[in-house]
A and B are shown apart, each in its own frame.
Chain A
Amino acid sequence: MTGTVTISLRLNGEAVTATLPARMPLVDFLRETMGLTGAHVGCAHGVCGACTVRVDGAAVRGCLMLAAQADGSVVDTIEGLTESGAIADLQDAFHRHNAVQCGYCAPGMLITAADLLDREAVPDRVPDRAEIRDHISGNYCRCTGYQAIVDAIAEVATTRADARATKQGDTA
């Protein structure tokens, strides 16, 4: 039994091994140990969503998971998703719709939005505005009033569905 743990994980595509205090939350490990400051700490009890990152492909709260629990996992942050271009269309839409003001919520909001769009990735399925609002209900934005955020996500949902339908048509 010990107050420190050694973990190995795949972080934004790269193998990382680190020894850290057992009590360190995942988001603190990412920000302080790894220097990835995209995930933010807002409330530290799971309410605001600013710390949302991806663990093994699923959106999770970085404040409600110990770094120790990420041992053996694949962790992706906004930095990795930006570099890979996986959510470039969402980021572009957020920019064009002015869905970012102070930017504190944006990384978590983008990961949550991507989670919804990945989940609905079937050709005939486009989440409506109510579903989008429900899905981002766990991510606070104190600047925009959400309207522009929903606009941006709805636009990408439609363009992605159109692209899938076109692709489907090509192969049929």
Chain B
Amino acid sequence: MKTNAFAYVRAETVAEALRLHAEAGDDARYLAGGQSLMAALNFRLDEPSTLIDITRITTLRGIAMDGDMIRIGALTRHADVADDPVIAAELPLIHAAIGHVAHPAIRNRGTFGGSVALADPAAELPACVLALGGVMEIAHPGGTRHVAADDFFRGTYETALAPGELLTAVHIPRPAPGSQVGFAELARRLGDYAMAGLCLMIAPDRSDARVVFFSISDRPVRARAAEATLIAGATAAEVAARATDGIEVYGDLNAGTATKRHYASVLLRRELARLDQKKDHAA
């Protein structure tokens, strides 16, 4: 199928993008990498009046250390995240996840901010941002506001973004030295949507932990029961047994709810066991 007919405009600055959106109204859409939006338009799942191409706003591209925070510009492409030395050194969770985000040709166009703003419940990057306690930087006509990941993801393709607001960057706190991270997903083909996925972030000495599953619910979800069990010092098997306690699990074409619960538990047990083994080798 083909998209509906729409107007196409380019914004060179964030201010211009916001103004163009205000002029075009709520049926306008920002076009970033387009790797999900174009697919949705080709299927007529969405029929916007106007596409506002923001890909030429150069200030929204790039990754930088800012004190103890890492700023990932919204328009940074997945391929650039994969090759970035700051990400490799400081955010190994994202470094591990990025190779699972779609396929190489899609990573060459798709953007970090686009994936976060779309909030596909099966996507890796929103789950990473939630596990790392990231903060979204959002531009609106009145200025800039910040929303923590815990408050940002609201449901399937639903976020705290109001119509016309633009996600401009994601700020991620630099993990404390000695933190452990884990990433794992089950997919039928590398790069396909996961049937279940896991992001793990464990502070030194298990003083804090974030266990986030994706592709099992309507958004990336924190496994609060598993986190508490982990911090309490339980074994991998004990933590994994509580993997989906209190989480509303949704099935899809690939797997029903019981299967997803099972996958989530297996992923968590495997990753914790791997981290334990790694620690034993290091000791």
Residues of A within 8 A of B (CB): 1-3, 5, 21-23, 25, 28, 44-46, 49, 52, 58-61, 63-66, 68-69, 112, 115-116, 134-135, 137-139
Q: How far is the CA of A1 from the CA of B43 in the complex (A)?
A: 24
B157 CB → nearest A CB, Å = 16
A2 CB → nearest B CB, Å = 6
Whether A64 and B38, one on each chain, are in contact in the complex, defined by CB atoms closer than 8 angstroms, is yes
Q: How far is the CA of A126 from the CA of B104 in the complex (A)?
A: 18
Whether A58 and B103, one on each chain, are in contact in the complex, defined by CB atoms closer than 8 angstroms, is no
Residues of B within 8 A of A (CB): 1-9, 24, 31, 34-35, 38-39, 41-43, 50-51, 53, 55, 79, 99, 102-106, 108-109, 189-191
Closest Cβ neighbor of B55 among chain A residues: A69
Whether A138 and B34, one on each chain, are in contact in the complex, defined by CB atoms closer than 8 angstroms, is no
Whether A5 and B8, one on each chain, are in contact in the complex, defined by CB atoms closer than 8 angstroms, is yes
Residues of A within 8 A of B9 (CB): 1
Whether A46 and B39, one on each chain, are in contact in the complex, defined by CB atoms closer than 8 angstroms, is yes
B71 CB → nearest A CB, Å = 24
A78 CB → nearest B CB, Å = 14
Whether B35 and A61, one on each chain, are in contact in the complex, defined by CB atoms closer than 8 angstroms, is yes
Q: Known interface pairs A1-B24, A21-B5, A135-B104. Does A65 touch B190 (Cβ–Cβ under 8 Å)?
A: no
Residues of B within 8 A of A52 (CB): 105
Whether B8 and A58, one on each chain, are in contact in the complex, defined by CB atoms closer than 8 angstroms, is no
Whether A61 and B6, one on each chain, are in contact in the complex, defined by CB atoms closer than 8 angstroms, is no
Whether A138 and B38, one on each chain, are in contact in the complex, defined by CB atoms closer than 8 angstroms, is no
Q: Which of A1, A64, A65 has the most CB of B within 10 A?
A: A64
Residues of A within 8 A of B6 (CB): 3, 22-23
Q: Known interface pairs A23-B5, A137-B190. Does A46 touch B55 (Cβ–Cβ under 8 Å)?
A: no
Tell which of B35, B79, B106, B190 touches A134, judged by Cβ atoms closer than 8 Å.
B190
Whether B42 and A45, one on each chain, are in contact in the complex, defined by CB atoms closer than 8 angstroms, is yes
Tell which of A21, A22, A28, A65 touches B51, judged by Cβ atoms closer than 8 Å.
A22
B264 CB → nearest A CB, Å = 23
Residues of A within 8 A of B189 (CB): 137
Residues of A within 8 A of B99 (CB): 134
B119 CB → nearest A CB, Å = 18
Residues of B within 8 A of A135 (CB): 104
Q: List 25 A-B contacts (CB under 8 A).
A: A1-B7, A3-B6, A23-B4, A23-B5, A25-B38, A44-B1, A44-B39, A45-B43, A46-B35, A46-B38, A46-B39, A46-B102, A49-B103, A49-B105, A52-B105, A61-B105, A63-B38, A64-B106, A65-B109, A66-B51, A137-B190, A137-B191, A138-B102, A138-B104, A138-B106
Which 3 pairs show the lowest CB-CB distances between chains A and B? A138-B103, A22-B8, A45-B39
Residues of A within 8 A of B35 (CB): 46, 61, 64
Residues of A within 8 A of B51 (CB): 22, 66
Tell which of A49, A61, A116, A137 touches B109, judged by Cβ atoms closer than 8 Å.
A61
Whether A60 and B24, one on each chain, are in contact in the complex, defined by CB atoms closer than 8 angstroms, is no
B34 CB → nearest A CB, Å = 6
Beyond contacts A22-B8, A66-B34, A68-B53: 19 other A-B pairs, Cβ-Cβ < 8 A, are A22-B51, A23-B2, A23-B5, A25-B2, A25-B42, A44-B43, A45-B43, A46-B35, A58-B79, A59-B108, A64-B34, A64-B35, A66-B38, A66-B51, A115-B104, A135-B104, A137-B103, A138-B105, A138-B106
Tell which of A44, A69, A116 touches B42, judged by Cβ atoms closer than 8 Å.
A44
A42 CB → nearest B CB, Å = 12
Residues of A within 8 A of B106 (CB): 46, 61, 64, 138
Residues of B within 8 A of A44 (CB): 1, 39, 42-43
Residues of B within 8 A of A65 (CB): 34, 38, 109
Q: How far is the CA of A69 from the CA of B109 in the complex (A)?
A: 11
Whether A60 and B108, one on each chain, are in contact in the complex, defined by CB atoms closer than 8 angstroms, is yes
Tell which of A21, A58, A134 touches B108, judged by Cβ atoms closer than 8 Å.
A58
Residues of A within 8 A of B24 (CB): 1
Whether A3 and B5, one on each chain, are in contact in the complex, defined by CB atoms closer than 8 angstroms, is yes
Residues of A within 8 A of B7 (CB): 1-3, 22
Q: How far is the CA of A84 from the CA of B1 in the complex (A)?
A: 33
Q: How far is the CA of A23 from the CA of B48 in the complex (A)?
A: 11
A22 CB → nearest B CB, Å = 4
